Chains A and B, each alone.
Chain A
Amino acid sequence: MPTKFHRIVILFVLTFCQAPAWAAIDAYPFPEDKMRQQYNSLIAELRCPQCLNTNIAGSDAMIAKDLRREVHRMVLEGQSDDDIRAFMLARYGDFILYKPQLRAGTLVLWFGPGILFIIALVVIFGMLRRRNSNVTALSDQDQERLKQLLSK
């Protein structure tokens, strides 16, 4: 027989058992599961142009809804991921892709952080080495003096 405590526990557990709610709720029909997967992965990697930092899967904005409809249409037409990305890129630019393409203009974006990290490593190692060499570089005179001081 469930006690009051049991009921509270059950209520608590059920509260956190809900499936995550996505903003994108339009139920597009797909003839094949493969197409549905392609659609889902594309809307997850395309960035909503109006809302800062949301993909078009997770946005309620009108433009995100329109772009989902376009992706659905192109997937049904049998277009490849690259075709659809190119379509979006031609209209909305690099902003639309969470993973921008590798081009001259995006080199800094791709390699900037790595280069900064390497510079940081070089600086840190340089500083450590200098500090170590300062510690060990005692001249013979100094060694002599140290011995005297310690033997006192």
Chain B
Amino acid sequence: MSSLNKSLLIPLGIFIVLVAILAGGFGLKDPHFLPSQLIDQQFPDFSLSELNDPSRQLTASDMRGQVVLVNVWATWCPNCLVEHPELLRISREEGVPLYGINYNDDPFKARQWLVRHNNPFQFNIVDNKGKLGIELGVYGAPETFIVDANGIIRYRHVGPVSRRTWEETLGPIIELLKTNPDRVKG
């Protein structure tokens, strides 16, 4: 009898292993989340105009020199409005430069949007064809990148930035990059 009991345990064991593997694959992860391929890579080169000052050409070198937040946003994106108050707070209180990428948008509408909701960005890159977005592996908005002083992408956040996002991830990573630039891994 004991050998029969033992052989009954084999399918049960296989079943448990399968459940563990499948739970890891399906259940525990948000299927909409794609890991960024660009962590620890140089911010892609670009040459695009500034939203409020179209005569000004912006390039990747405009972001060098300090740790910065780069936020991908658009007027068609409801979650951008959701995160907007937090972006305004960060720009007011946290002392980290915040740059915008106005993604696949109508620049005219975007300027109006910033007048109506206030402008937390030091400058806005006009990416109305979505080309910089593709270089960055952006697949929606909003997305927020942390770029270090050497212009290397260190972190990407997908979805709206909340107070909690700032306190638990963005804030600590930026702090660490400022004090100890070599220790942070994406």
Bound-complex Cα distance A62 to B31 (A): 19
Given contacts A49-B139, A66-B104, A67-B134, whether A95 and B38 have CB atoms under 8 Å apart is: no
Establish whether residues A62 and B10, one from each chain, have CB atoms under 8 Å apart when the complex forms. no
Contact across chains for B140 and A70 when beta carbons are under 8 A apart? no
Within 8 A of B (CB), among A118-148: 119, 123
| Interface range, B side | 20 to 34
A50-B140, A63-B140 are contacts. A91–B34 as well, Cβ < 8 Å?
no
**Identity of the chain A residue whose Cβ is nearest the Cβ of B11 in the assembled complex:** A123
Q: Which chain B positions have C-beta within 8 A of A50? A: 32, 139-140
In the complex, chain B residues whose CB is within 8 Å of the CB of A10: none
Query: Separation in Å of the A71 CB from the closest CB of chain B?
Result: 11
| CB atoms of A91 and B38 under 8 A apart | yes
Of all chain B residues, which has the CB nearest A64? Answer: B139
Q: How many residues from A make CB contacts under 8 Å with B?
A: 16
Is the pair B32, A63 in contact by a Cβ cutoff of 8 Å? no
| A52 at interface, CB cutoff 8 A | yes
The answer to whether B134 touches A66 (Cβ under 8 A) is yes
Contacts of A62 in B (CB 8 A): 104, 130
CA distance A90 to B31 in the complex (A): 20
Chain B residues with CB under 8 Å of A119's CB are 14
Neighbour of A90 across the interface among B37, B129, B133, B139, CB < 8 A: B37
**CA A91 – CA B41 in complex, angstroms?**
11
A92, B137: Cβ atoms closer than 8 Å:
yes
Residue B175 at the A interface, CB < 8 A?
no
Interfacial chain B residues near A93, Cβ < 8 Å: 34-37, 137
- A96: shortest Cβ distance to chain B, in Å? 9
Seen from chain B, the residues whose Cβ lies within 8 Å of a Cβ on chain A are 10-11, 14, 31-32, 34-38, 104, 129-131, 133-140
Q: Apart from A63-B133, A92-B34, A92-B139, list 8 A-B contacts with CB within 8 A.
A: A52-B31, A63-B130, A66-B134, A91-B135, A91-B136, A92-B37, A123-B10, A123-B14
Report, nearest first, the 7 A-B pairs whose CB atoms are least far apart: A49-B139, A91-B137, A66-B130, A50-B139, A93-B37, A63-B139, A50-B140
